[in-house]
């Protein structure tokens, strides 16, 4: 039984690992980049700090300030993906649809930093949504489930191998007594 279970587990383990190799490499590689996104400015621009406090900028002032930054390519709210207001750091981050991030002083509206933000793209690669509409649900989710099955089959192989080695060692030591 143990050898049969080990053989089935080994076969499942091999074929599943070959089937999910590419999605798993993508998830691991992008996951490693996301782990260091706060430490690597190339991935995510560092957040600037100004005087703490509630922002005093109006939405119109935010648009006007960001529209002055050519890389942002912002002329209306349709060009903005999101605003990130950080009262504790005294800034407003404006992320354009083109992945450029403009950090503004939340009180004066001065542009503090302009940088390309790669973290969102890497996150989309990580979850599969960057590739095509259904990749997240129909490729990456099944790959994650199969990775869990790999973990279980690997555990079965480990336990059955250790059990077999223990039995072999036990019976050999018994014969030599």
Q: At what angle do helices 2-19 and 21-35 cross, to 10 degrees?
A: 70
Could you give the number of structural domains in the chain?
2
pTM of the model: 0.76
Do residue 9 and residue 29 come from a single domain?
A: yes
Confidence bin at 1 (pLDDT 50/70/90):
low
Q: Tell me, yes or no, whether 177 lies in a domain.
A: no
52 and 113 part of one domain = yes
Give pLDDT, residue 176: 65
Range of the domain at 85: 45-117
Cβ within 8 Å of residue 72, ≥6 positions away: 66, 79, 94, 96, 98, 100, 102, 114
Q: Residue 11: its pLDDT value, please?
A: 86
More confident of the two residues 53 and 130: 130
Q: Are residues 66 and 97 in the same domain?
A: yes
In a domain, 129, yes or no: yes
Residue-wise pLDDT for 38-92, tens only, equals: 999 999 999 998 888 889 999 999 999 999 999 999 999 999 999 999 999 999 9
Domain harbouring 105, CATH code: 3.10.450
């Amino acid at each position: 039984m143990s050898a049969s279970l080990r053989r089935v587990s080994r076969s499942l383990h091999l074929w599943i690992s070959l089937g999910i190799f590419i999605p798993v490499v993508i998830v691991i590689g992008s996951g490693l980049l996301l782990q260091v996104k706060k430490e690597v400015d190339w991935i995510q621009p560092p957040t600037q700090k100004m005087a703490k406090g509630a922002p005093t900028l109006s939405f119109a002032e935010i648009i006007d300030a960001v529209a002055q930054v050519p890389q942002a390519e912002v002329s209306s709210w349709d060009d903005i993906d999101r605003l990130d207001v950080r009262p504790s750091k005294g800034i407003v981050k404006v992320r354009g649809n083109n992945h450029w991030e403009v950090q503004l002083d939340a009180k004066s509206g001065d542009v503090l930093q302009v940088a390309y933000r790669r973290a969102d793209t890497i996150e989309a690669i990580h979850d599969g949504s960057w590739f095509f509409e259904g990749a997240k649900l129909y490729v990456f989710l099944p790959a994650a489930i199969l990775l869990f099955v790999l973990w279980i089959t690997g555990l079965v192989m480990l336990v059955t191998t250790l059990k077999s080695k223990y039995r072999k060692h036990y019976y050999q030591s018994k014969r030599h007594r």
